[in-house]
Amino acid sequence: MFFHMVMSSVTPAASNTAVESLAAVSEIPEDIPERLAYGDINGQLISVGRYYRKPAFQVLNNLYGSVWCVVARNLMDELGDESTIKDVWEGKSVIVSGVLHYGPGGKLRWLDAHSLRGVARPVISLDSVLDPDFTAGMDPVDYLDKLHEGELG
């Protein structure tokens, strides 16, 4: 019932305004200059290789997508055998610190990695979060309708 009420109040003018607003927010201004910053990115290891003939690995980050992280010689020596190809295959979560290289428009192009550390992600089983009595035996659609209409308390 709630969904129907919301949908019936959307007009073509309101939807055009919403689309224009979303487009304005999603556009990246091109006048942002190239820059360097020191910081961190986090994400999952997705590949190991070379970036412009330099040893590197790629991290998949929620904000920037896949980012090449160039590995300095001291970091290669420090990591040694600590990181393996298994870390990539398992999509190990990591935090990489170093110099971030941004291109025009504010897009992160690559990172000169100074340090790499793993992030422990707890394994959560589906059984530990499922609650068969969550809707008190009601059909999920009926439960949501009553919730939206304020009939649950």
Per-residue pLDDT tens, the chain, 153 aa: give them: 444 444 456 677 777 777 777 776 656 566 788 899 999 999 999 988 899 999 999 999 999 999 999 998 888 777 766 666 777 788 889 999 999 999 988 889 999 999 888 888 777 888 888 887 888 888 888 888 888 888 876
Counting the structural domains of the chain, the total is: 1
The answer to whether residue 128 sits within a structural domain is no
How many angstroms separate the CA atoms of 111 and 54, rounded? Answer: 12
Phi and psi at 148, nearest 5°, equal -70, -30
Q: Is 147 domain-assigned? A: no
pTM assigned to the model: 0.60
Q: How far apart are CA 47 and CA 93, in angstroms?
A: 13
Q: Is residue 98 part of a domain?
A: yes
Range of the domain at 63: 35-118
